[in-house]
Structure 1
């Protein structure tokens, strides 16, 4: 897929939005700017749609060309992309409790096996809990290649549409049932987080919308091009649909939001991703200065930003700053630490991955195929 500056812009908006949401760790942005941070959790859903679209495009294009699906190569590339920086940050959390944004940290093996989002004791161990979204992504990476191979053996647009609709309706029914049960029984734990917000099976909407966009791009290229030619109306519709979803989420833990809010929010972000994929659209016409780097470093920034917010400035430098000014100072530190992790761990490991891949290709390796 060619480089698309519009997707860089969305990814950079997503990570900044998440950081703004977590600004409560440094006493927030103040009442005048609370509207900026209140819905920042939705940045993760932008990441989900982007992941579904980019990974889906990569794998579906391979299958559409009739090439074998090399699972070993795919899993290896994702491991090199995800694990090194994650292992470094996890080691810091385990080895230096004073740096944690909260005292309690769940067992290291839950992080290492990417089961944290399914087994977390959030009430007692909320530190590094934002790793839940990495667990969802890893489960997607693990299962989607096999599901894509199975679904494309006898490809049918009607079956694919029915499958997607079924998954959306199943998600609505499952979240509704769990919400009604937990609201009635009121278990003595943070059940919204543990039963509704974190589990993978509750959060498939964004990934599904991304995969649907990828399928449209790969299997209906003429439709895709016609839609890209209407990028501005798509962008406006995307903002309107996302705004509707966020209006539903004004009661973030309520039944209506958690029943139907997630697919509506994902649809809105999917329309924005579609619009941003057009080189002629307002979102993708020109590269926004700095957005490309922030997008490239977004993973490192996501992993480390809570550590920096908690550990830097607040205990050491009692400066007469608050609100936006204090967050801006923390943002500088977050960018510095994120840059160190990105350039010191992420990029060297990716370069090593590419060198090893070239060496293996030259040796004609045996690949796991289906």
Structure 2
């Protein structure tokens, strides 16, 4: 199955950039590369938004491709894939956080049940409980997995470009309105608390722009394949345009907590990243033509790397911080190498075995007859073209197995 579609090394590269860029941003907690290199990490938080666009495109495509062909995707299969993909590594890291306080990058941590229910992003005292707070982005994606299938199935009952665009515009304008309202209400005169993080940056309803842009890419590819193919011939132009719009986003976010950034900055940033994802998905463009050595492996472990890099920073600093202090790039390399080693351990000990188990489980499921998931829409068969294309696409991302697309954190 994995040989039925060419690899997409451009998306591997973007995923690797996303996680390394995020790591660079979080390295500020241990001094990073020092003040002379602060420009390199200033916008590193945008790596999470790149993950969101990738997830919207890849995960959204799993549901939209069969719907575009008039067949109902198996929601059971969809959710089984997500469970096996996300929960084992997440639960393993959460258990370490709970059982080993020294693993925490900060003293305080929200109750375990907020993480287990994936609601920590909408209920957190960031000033007191910032340990494992980077799980906020997993919460956003979990909410996306829960709500998007229902919306996709609803819109597909009576397919209409007008309804689709109306939904997209409503989500886009709704996000702008929510962030603007919060910004105007919580200003510097409010009682001291991190209102930007707690009320704008973390909550799901404020962070749908990247996922939306990714879903729009998936919808374009699924419902307008000829238009997609014509645009693919200009992949390099899309990449250049993406870089230009990204520069505009840098300018809008020069004051990260400012009104301009938090009103229109997020959709502009997401548009820039969507243009780059489109370019990366084209094997004939410069971004996606050739695999960059090591990028595929970093992409494969990126979920584990996202989960463990912050606590590993803290562990290294606690035990060897005094030795590494003032070492500049050597300290930066030491923190990074330790994080990658821990991520590789998590990937090979937890993620990969459960992905293999998932493959065995789903092969057994595919061997059984399926029933229609939605009235009026025939089901996608065990080996339907929609199913094969969806699995082959994600297999091409890492060259390891079906649905191997690593996630955003």
**TM exceeding 0.5:** yes
SS in 2 for 1:116: coil
Match of 1:259 among 263, 272, 277: 263
Matched, 1:88 2:92: yes
Counterpart for residue 228 of structure 1: 232
Q: How far does residue 35 in structure 1 lie from its aligned partner after superposition? A: 1.0
Counterpart for residue 301 of structure 1: 305
Counterpart CA distance in 1 for 2:47 and 2:170 is 25
Match of 1:289 among 272, 293, 300: 293
Q: How far does residue 362 in structure 1 lie from its aligned partner after superposition? A: 2.5
Q: How far does residue 56 in structure 1 lie from its aligned partner after superposition? A: 1.2
Q: How far does residue 332 in structure 1 lie from its aligned partner after superposition? A: 1.0
Counterpart for residue 9 of structure 1: 13
Counterpart CA distance in 1 for 2:360 and 2:203 is 36
Q: Give the paired residue count.
A: 370
SS in 2 for 1:58: helix
- The verdict on how the C-alpha distance between 1:365 and 1:227 changes in structure 2, with shifts beyond 3 A counting, is closer
SS in 2 for 1:40: coil
Counterpart CA distance in 2 for 1:237 and 1:70 is 36
Match of 1:361 among 338, 363, 366: 366
Matched, 1:135 2:121: no
Counterpart CA distance in 1 for 2:95 and 2:269 is 34
- The verdict on how the C-alpha distance between 1:216 and 1:366 changes in structure 2, with shifts beyond 3 A counting, is closer
Counterpart CA distance in 2 for 1:55 and 1:83 is 16
Matched, 1:336 2:341: yes
Q: How far does residue 159 in structure 1 lie from its aligned partner after superposition? A: 2.0
- The verdict on how the C-alpha distance between 1:191 and 1:54 changes in structure 2, with shifts beyond 3 A counting, is same
- Structure 2 unaligned blocks of 5 or more: 376-409
SS in 1 for 2:121: helix
Q: How far does residue 184 in structure 1 lie from its aligned partner after superposition? A: 7.0
TM-score normalised by the chain length of structure 1: 0.96
Q: How far does residue 366 in structure 1 lie from its aligned partner after superposition? A: 6.4
SS in 2 for 1:312: helix
Counterpart for residue 325 of structure 1: 330
* Alpha-carbon contact 1:26-1:326 (below 8 Å) kept: no
Match of 1:56 among 52, 57, 60: 60
Listed one character per residue, the Cα deviations across residues 55-77 of structure 1 (whole Å, up to 9, x for unaligned) are 11111011122222322221111
Counterpart for residue 276 of structure 2: 272
- Supply the RMSD in Å over aligned alpha carbons: 1.6
Q: How far does residue 258 in structure 1 lie from its aligned partner after superposition? A: 0.3
* Alpha-carbon contact 2:30-2:317 (below 8 Å) kept: no
TM-score normalised by the chain length of structure 2: 0.87
* Alpha-carbon contact 2:72-2:373 (below 8 Å) kept: no
* Alpha-carbon contact 1:84-1:346 (below 8 Å) kept: yes
Counterpart for residue 356 of structure 2: 351
Match of 1:200 among 197, 204, 207: 204
Q: How far does residue 243 in structure 1 lie from its aligned partner after superposition? A: 1.2
Match of 2:105 among 101, 104, 125: 101
Q: Which is further off, 337-346 or 317-326?
A: 317-326
* Alpha-carbon contact 1:26-1:314 (below 8 Å) kept: no
Counterpart for residue 173 of structure 2: 169
Match of 1:154 among 139, 158, 161: 158
* Alpha-carbon contact 1:248-1:256 (below 8 Å) kept: yes
* Alpha-carbon contact 1:13-1:43 (below 8 Å) kept: yes
Listed one character per residue, the Cα deviations across residues 84-124 of structure 1 (whole Å, up to 9, x for unaligned) are 00000000111111121000010000000000001111111
Q: How far does residue 357 in structure 1 lie from its aligned partner after superposition? A: 1.3
Q: How far does residue 131 in structure 1 lie from its aligned partner after superposition? A: 0.1
* Alpha-carbon contact 2:140-2:204 (below 8 Å) kept: yes
Q: How far does residue 15 in structure 1 lie from its aligned partner after superposition? A: 0.2
* Alpha-carbon contact 2:9-2:296 (below 8 Å) kept: yes
Q: How far does residue 314 in structure 1 lie from its aligned partner after superposition? A: 4.6
SS in 1 for 2:323: coil
SS in 1 for 2:89: helix
